[in-house]
Structure 1
């Protein structure tokens, strides 16, 4: 039962983030933002959807490691900090708003890509919390491949914005 509640929370969180991302994307595009490197986006979406769908198949009924649950909860605090720092500029796409300065406050004072640090942790911790080490490794490797492309594309786009 605990696994189902945790997965329901994560699913609702992701759906809420998609709504927020779409709203912010529409506003940014209306303000003149330009999307950069959209080709990898579908792979990123497929990876996250597959990761969560697979957990819905594999995790229900499994025991929950409370230490890893606490670590996951701490990651969510970092996620909220990222979202609050970026505000209306947070989106799941790579959008460049000409003339807008790069964000250097909040967690961006310490990390170039704090949101991706959260994602790396989540992709590993959630399966590990349910004792699914092989699943954590599999999706961590896949996520690393996608993030390699994503971060290169984002760094290039951010360089264009400077």
Structure 2
């Protein structure tokens, strides 16, 4: 359980790093005329992602580590993190945890966006299943997945509306 707690701690630190990058990019976006779409769902998103980490720790305290499940799930978590940071790197200053559109900015279609419209959300879905299952926390994985599906339905709708406001301009990154 100590190793799993350390993993959750590392993921929490990674989330804090994301928030630092996000805040810096949000400030830059607003300075360049960026406008936010759908801010109402953001507090629920923060709460859900925080609850994921807490749920992992609480449930894992009552579960056994199953190597044949845990090790592959850890590899999946690492892959999800790699995809997440590929998204962040590809979007550059336009990435943040909110939905912000900068006037005149084209839609980025390089990197993982060549293959998927919302690759970061794929990383979130994968991580939401794999991270709890590293230590057999299947209830946390299930509850997060269901609640995240509801939240992503709202979030993706907001993001699609924001992307439509960009028009047809495209940028390859």
TM bin, normalised by shorter chain, reads over 0.9
Indicate the SS of the match to 2:13. Answer: helix
Q: How does 1:16-27 map to 2 (within 5 A)?
A: 16-27=17-28
Deviation at 1:49, TM superposition (A): 1.1
Cα distance 1:25–1:62, how it changes in 2: closer, same or farther (>3 A)? farther
- Give TM-score scaled by structure 2 length: 0.89
Structure 1 outlier segments of 4+, above 3 Å: none
Gaps of 5+ in 2: 168-173
Deviation at 1:57, TM superposition (A): 2.4
- Give TM-score scaled by structure 1 length: 0.95
Q: Check the 8 A contact 1:125/1:136 in 2, yes or no.
A: yes
Deviation at 1:111, TM superposition (A): 0.3
Gaps of 5+ in 1: none
- Residues 1:107 and 2:112 aligned together: yes
Deviation at 1:132, TM superposition (A): 1.3
Q: Check the 8 A contact 2:125/2:145 in 1, yes or no.
A: yes
Cα root mean square deviation, aligned:
1.3
Please, which of 109, 121, 129 is the counterpart of residue 126 of structure 2? Answer: 121
Matched with 1:5 is 6
